[in-house]
């Protein structure tokens, strides 16, 4: 790209954005390990997180959830496309009905709140 085309390019684009992304081996092997451990196949839902990257939420054949974060959408697609046992899907009724979170998943997602027994009063309550 020329310097003039860089100035007119949408924010976030770089000269490297036109290249195809090679799937990072750590991300690919992590997703492959998840698939092997949870039924041999998975559906991946790609969810952009802004500057943080793209969340690749995996639903294994046994319904267990897993997720990884890719640096960008192009890389996320490259990783998923490189694995025959993973398909890209959407959060529709069929996929949502299969999900079975593993024991302790809710507590992990709740973070510090999961262990609380006492909560402060709501500030907007009467």
Name the band, by pLDDT with cuts 50, 70 and 90, for residue 22: low
For the ranges 11-15, 42-46, 99-103, the one whose mean pLDDT is highest: 42-46
| 104, pLDDT greater than 90 | no
Query: Is the pLDDT score of 113 beyond 90?
Result: no
- Quickly state the pLDDT bin for 48 (edges 50, 70, 90): very high
> pLDDT tens digits for 65-84?
988 999 999 999 999 999 99
> What are the sequence ranges of the domains in the chain?
23-113
Average pLDDT, the chain: 80
8 by Cβ neighbours in 10 Å (0-12 / 13-18 / 19+) ranks as: exposed
pLDDT bracket for residue 20 (50, 70, 90):
low
């Amino acid at each position: 790209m020329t310097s003039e085309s860089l100035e007119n390019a949408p924010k976030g684009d770089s000269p490297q954005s036109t290249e195809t992304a090679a799937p990072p081996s750590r991300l690919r092997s992590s997703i492959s390990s998840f698939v092997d451990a949870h039924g041999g196949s998975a559906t991946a839902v790609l969810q952009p997180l802004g500057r943080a990257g793209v969340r690749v939420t995996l639903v294994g054949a046994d319904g267990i959830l897993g997720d990884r974060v890719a640096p960008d959408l192009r890389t996320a697609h490259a990783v998923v496309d490189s694995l025959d046992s993973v398909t890209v899907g959407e959060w529709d009724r069929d996929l949502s009905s299969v999900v079975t979170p593993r024991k302790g998943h809710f507590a992990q997602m709740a973070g510090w709140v999961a262990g609380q027994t006492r909560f402060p009063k709501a500030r907007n309550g009467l």
